[in-house]
Chain A
Amino acid sequence: MAKLEPYSPTPAARAGRIVMTVTPFVIGIVCVLLSFVPFGRIVGSPLTPAFPLMAIYYWAIVRPEMFPPLAVFAVGVLFDLLSGGEIGLWAFVYTVTYAVVVTQRPVVVNAPFSAFWIGFAVTAAFAGALAWVIVSVIHGLIVPPGPVFWHMAVTVAVFPIFAMLFGRFETRVLSGG
């Protein structure tokens, strides 16, 4: 009778597993830091896209098991700490948005890119509206919706570029192809 050998992963498999666990956090942190790099100054505009939202949406649809809720929450908290705004605002908005996207995943998961993009536009609108409502409630006044509208519009506009980059990363690194 064959004896069952205890499974011991090779160092390469172990390294691969570490990469798989750490990758979402690293991507999330890079996206948060990118949000604070003053790209807008090149063209003289204070607008910056919501890079973390792109990462959250992409990974929630394509590989939710790679981007767990803990990573989403951590990304949101880091963003809040760096931004100097309300603590927990983006942590809450991103986690709620992630929850909504994960539940609606079957709608866009195998759809063409245009549907994937429209899905992102709806997600960005939802996240922007939620954040706007929370900030308005916290400050007890109707905050001008213009800045958050443009913020999300820019995010939706540049999303295809980042979706392509994430896609490349996914096929090259994570799929091992």
Chain B
Amino acid sequence: MEPNRTALPFREFSHRISLIFMLTLAAALLLLGRAETYVFDQARQVVTDLAAPLLEIASRPVAATRRIIERTDEYAYVFDENERLRAENARLLEWKEEALRLQARLARYEALLNVQVDQSIEYVSGRVVSDSGGPFIDTVLVNVGREQGARSGLAVIDSDGLAGRIVATGPKASRVLLLTDLNSRIPVVIEPAQYKAILAGDNTSWPRLEYLPVQSAVSPGDRVVTSGDGGLIPAGLPVGLVIQTGSGELRVQTFSDRGRLDFVRVLQYEFPSEVKLQDPPSVLEGPAAEPAAPAGDGPRAAAE
């Protein structure tokens, strides 16, 4: 490390002035950023779209390295894994029989009750190309943009379960707000008792359960799925399992691991909002009066 070679007083002075100016500008930006959101959102989208291709190229070697490590791990444990899979396969075959029986029964009931079956949801697959890049936010960029059919609000899932939802889209890339982010709120249902709650991220690895009824009997290990309330995210997507922290607080261990997000699906879910209006008529009318029977006839006829 050599000493500063340009210790000219003028240079020092201009450096100091520039530093003060930049400090003021940064402070102003911090305050303005909260007011002028539209301008900054546009700027953010432009920068994100420009950076997404670069990040995608840079993330390829990372993904390749990860695959090599995973494969090496798999070779090391191939015998144990084989044993485990054999046992699991036997167990799953029993479940398959059970599922087929239930599926047949469900189809029969649905036919009997004339149930409106949920439409299948279309999706676009994409890759996560960036990391969150900061300790206070949990967002990632995916290479699915408006041109591929992404839009704000759509749910994003990976092979394990719900990962988050899209909060901003550009032509080529979108930003996904993960479940663990401080701003994430997802309406969920806790099975099997169907208690409703809000899954609230708080910048830790395990999101909290908010607005859970006081009397609810939720216990660790219960499954958490999306409730579909609000119409943004389809109902029934697997989210995670209830866990209890050391302090007794109930939190959720998400199925989707934000440290291993790679390929994801953007669900193009459209809430069935076009419901026929059933406005009550302005004047309530009773059923049309039947032609009046001659007085006294009715009871006698009934008696006869």
A residues neighboring B (CB under 8 Å) = 33-46, 48, 61-65, 68-70, 72-73, 76-92, 95-96, 98-99, 102, 109-110, 116, 128, 131-132, 134-135, 138-139, 143-144, 146-148, 150-152
- Identify which of residues 97-131 in chain B touch chain A, using a CB-to-CB cut-off of 8 Å: 128, 130-131
- Contact at B136–A131, with CB atoms within 8 Å? yes
- Contact at A37–B204, with CB atoms within 8 Å? no
- Contact at B259–A45, with CB atoms within 8 Å? yes
In the complex formed, the residue of A with least CB distance to B36 is A87
A-B interface, 8 closest residue pairs, ranked by CB to CB distance from nearest: A87-B33, A88-B29, A88-B30, A151-B135, A148-B135, A69-B22, A92-B26, A38-B131
CB-defined contacts of A138 to chain B, threshold 8 Å: 34
CB-defined contacts of B63 to chain A, threshold 8 Å: 41
CB-defined contacts of A39 to chain B, threshold 8 Å: 62, 131
Other-chain contact of B19, A33, A92, A102 (Cβ < 8 Å): A102
Other-chain contact of A36, B1, B28, B131, B203 (Cβ < 8 Å): B131
Evaluate whether A87 and B40 lie within 8 angstroms (CB atoms) in the complex, with A69-B19, A110-B1 already known. yes
Other-chain contact of B259, A40, A64, A68 (Cβ < 8 Å): A40
- Contact at B133–A79, with CB atoms within 8 Å? yes
* Min C-beta distance of B244 to chain A, whole Å: 18
Q: Which of B25, B134, B202 has the most CB of A within 10 A?
A: B134
CB-defined contacts of A110 to chain B, threshold 8 Å: 1, 3
Q: For the complex, what is the distance from the CA of A128 to the CA of B136, rounded to whole Å? A: 10
- Contact at A86–B130, with CB atoms within 8 Å? no
- Contact at A109–B26, with CB atoms within 8 Å? no
- Contact at B136–A147, with CB atoms within 8 Å? yes
**Interface of A: prevailing SS:** helix
Proximity bits, B54-69, A CB within 8 Å = 1, else 0: 1100110011011001
In the complex formed, the residue of B with least CB distance to A76 is B26
Q: For the complex, what is the distance from the CA of A36 to the CA of B133, rounded to whole Å? A: 5
Other-chain contact of B25, A64, A73, A150 (Cβ < 8 Å): A73
Task: Say which size band chain B's interface belongs to.
Answer: 35 or more
In the complex formed, the residue of A with least CB distance to B14 is A68
Stretch at the interface among B44-52, B79-87, B216-224, B267-275: B44-52
- Contact at B26–A85, with CB atoms within 8 Å? no
CB-defined contacts of A37 to chain B, threshold 8 Å: 55, 58-59, 62, 130-131
Write 21 A-B pairs (CB below 8 A) sorted by A numbering.
Answer: A36-B130, A36-B133, A37-B58, A38-B131, A40-B131, A41-B261, A42-B65, A44-B257, A46-B138, A46-B259, A48-B133, A69-B22, A77-B29, A82-B47, A88-B28, A88-B32, A89-B30, A98-B19, A109-B3, A128-B135, A135-B136
Proximity bits, B1-19, A CB within 8 Å = 1, else 0: 1111110000100010011
- Contact at A78–B47, with CB atoms within 8 Å? yes
- Contact at B1–A109, with CB atoms within 8 Å? yes
Interface contacts beyond A37-B58, A65-B11, A88-B29: sample of 7 additional A-B pairs, CB < 8 Å, sorted by A: A41-B66, A41-B261, A48-B131, A61-B1, A65-B4, A69-B23, A87-B33
Evaluate whether A65 and B6 lie within 8 angstroms (CB atoms) in the complex, with A44-B259, A139-B182 already known. yes
In the complex formed, the residue of A with least CB distance to B181 is A84
Other-chain contact of A35, B5, B23, B133 (Cβ < 8 Å): B133
- Contact at A33–B54, with CB atoms within 8 Å? yes
Evaluate whether A144 and B29 lie within 8 angstroms (CB atoms) in the complex, with A36-B133, A65-B6, A83-B132 already known. no
CB-defined contacts of A92 to chain B, threshold 8 Å: 26-27, 29-30
